[in-house]
Amino acid sequence: MKRKLLLFFLCILLAFSFTGCKDFEVGVSEQTASYSDRMAIPEDGIVSADVFKDLKETKQVVTFEGESKGIKYEWTVFGSEITEPKDCNLLVTIVKTSDSTYIFNYASKEDFGFTPLLSIYSGDNNEGKVASLVEVRGNESVYLSDVYLTGTNSEILNVSFDSQVGTYIIEISDEEEALKMASADSNENEPANEPANEQKASSNSESKAESKTESKTESKTESKADSEAYEPDEYLSKSTSATSKVNTGGGNSGGASDTPAGRVLSDGSRTEKDQYLTDPVPIGKPQPVEPENQVVNKGKTLSCTFSIDCTTILNNIENLNPDKMDAVPANGIIFPSQTVTFYEGESVFDVLSRICRENNIHIEYEWTAMYNSTYIQGIHNLYEFDCGSGSGWMYKVDGWYPNYGCSRYVLTNGETVEWRYTCDLGADIGGAYAVGE
């Protein structure tokens, strides 16, 4: 009797576990959607609303691949970004008109309603260059946003713009030239918020809307199309930014580029590693300043351009730790390029930690005595090794990735600091030299 009861109990359990398993499989497939991470764009380019609806529900991240006359491109779509699923035409026609200009034309007749990232694999070597997105309106070209360059030769152009209708141009220019001009500009106007000349005024603290519709100078006017709404607090003032990079009209390119007070530039005399294992600094680049010797002068505020991005992750999304998917912004930009102020004598690390704290961006770092600097382990919950074994954070000042830690780089007025996530030891963001051979 008792034995039969037990047998009965076991049978029920067995049945449960089997039917259970079947249902689990269904449950799981519903959970993680049946789409693969990479999909080809169909012939007619139209991806149906059903697909986007599924992506929205499962919050999957999918890359759509396409090709236009030999130029490969891909859309990275975040399911979590989709608001109203509808049919979208993902076809893009890309034409290379000169070495430094790409014209691309969306086949779509209407905006998608969300902002996916468009990555164009240009195939040429853009190392040491910067790019920007420009729209032609009549006779004028209007600056819209920065284009983030990634890839081994910086050949991937990443565009994230909220409109998917019409024709746009990507202009690639020399970074050093652009920076020289930018620094020359900002050197002139010492308290950073004061516009120095007429031209600047358009891009300054006046509203974005104005700069989008109007353009003041005849040829090229820069304006900031800032889609992010960061609240400028007392310390962080949003004003001029890297936009002056595209400035070609300014005639002050030969302007003052003298060394700021207190900065020691490398003359190439050192040939061996210093006590903190730093290789010789290239000629003309600033020597590291040890944090214990830094003197912060709170009486004098300076300004620099600051940005944090992880665009490379979007090109390598299949390597990303799936748990960290939520931490990646859909356009890869964590802190859009903008002017921030700091005290004289502060290092890149000081500025970074303050910006993160003020904007409530997560950051984790660790003091490394061996290199006498702080090591940034993670920003915005994106940590080293989260996107492959060669991934982590690197910083770039005025186009150069310093080969020493961020606590040892003391900033001067008007410099451009970029924090970028690399998935390949710096090679995909043009900074392989900073990590050694």
Beta bridge partners of 145: 133
User: Shortest approach of other proteins to residue 296 CB, angstroms?
Assistant: 15
399 token code pair: 């186009």
Is residue 34 close enough to count as binding other proteins by CB under 8 A?
Answer: no
Is residue 258 close enough to count as binding other proteins by CB under 8 A?
Answer: no
Is residue 233 close enough to count as binding other proteins by CB under 8 A?
Answer: no
Which residues from 295-324 bind other proteins, rule CB under 8 A? Answer: 323-324
Q: How far is CA 63 from CA 60, 119, 225, in A?
A: 10, 10, 25
Nearer to other proteins, 383 or 409 (CB): 383
User: Shortest approach of other proteins to residue 368 CB, angstroms?
Assistant: 13
User: Which residue in 246, 249, 245, 263 sits closest to 302, CA to CA?
Assistant: 263
Q: Residue 98: what are its φ and ψ, rounded to 5°?
A: -145, -175
User: Shortest approach of other proteins to residue 384 CB, angstroms?
Assistant: 12
Span near other proteins by CB under 8 A; candidates 14-22, 183-191, 405-413, 425-433: 14-22
In this structure, the dihedral spanned by the alpha carbons of residues 125, 404, 263 and 265, taken in order and rounded to 10 degrees, is: -60
Nearer to other proteins, 302 or 328 (CB): 328
Count of residues of this chain found to bind other proteins when the rule CB under 8 A is applied = 29
Which residues from 326-345 bind other proteins, rule CB under 8 A? Answer: 326-327
User: Shortest approach of other proteins to residue 408 CB, angstroms?
Assistant: 17
377-396 mask for other proteins (x: CB under 8 A)? -x--x-x-------------
Sequence-ordered strand ranges (E) for 310-435: 333-344, 363-368, 373-379, 382-383, 392-397, 416-422
Nearer to other proteins, 4 or 109 (CB): 4
DSSP annotation of 405 reads -
| Binder among 48, 364, 368, 389 for other proteins (CB under 8 A) | 364
Which residues from 60-119 bind other proteins, rule CB under 8 A? Answer: none
Place of tokens 């893009």: 92
Q: Are 308 and 335 in contact (CB under 8 A)?
A: yes
Nearer to other proteins, 6 or 265 (CB): 6
User: Shortest approach of other proteins to residue 62 CB, angstroms?
Assistant: 20
Is residue 357 close enough to count as binding other proteins by CB under 8 A?
Answer: yes
Span near other proteins by CB under 8 A; candidates 119-127, 246-254, 299-307, 355-363: 355-363
252 token code pair: 């002050």
User: Which residue in 2, 31, 85, 99 sits closest to 322, CA to CA?
Assistant: 31
Nearer to other proteins, 2 or 69 (CB): 2
Q: Under DSSP, is residue 434 helix (H, G, I), strand (E, B) or coil?
A: helix
Nearer to other proteins, 59 or 220 (CB): 59
Span near other proteins by CB under 8 A; candidates 64-72, 82-90, 364-372, 420-428: 364-372
User: Which residue in 60, 54, 98, 53 sits closest to 78, CA to CA?
Assistant: 60
d(CA 158, CA 71): 14
Nearer to other proteins, 204 or 407 (CB): 407
Q: What is the 3-state secondary structure (H, E, C) of 35-82?
A: CCCEEECCCCCEECHHHHHHHHHHCCEEEEEEEECCEEEEEEEEHHHC
Span near other proteins by CB under 8 A; candidates 63-71, 147-155, 293-301, 361-369: 361-369
Q: Which helix (H) or strand (E) holds 141?
A: strand 140-150
User: Which residue in 184, 401, 168 sits closest to 279, CA to CA?
Assistant: 401
Is residue 31 close enough to count as binding other proteins by CB under 8 A?
Answer: yes
Q: Are 87 and 107 in contact (CB under 8 A)?
A: no
Judged by the rule CB under 8 A, the positions of this chain that interact with other proteins are 6, 10, 13-14, 16-17, 20-21, 23-25, 27-28, 31, 323-324, 326-327, 353, 357, 360, 362-365, 367, 378, 381, 383
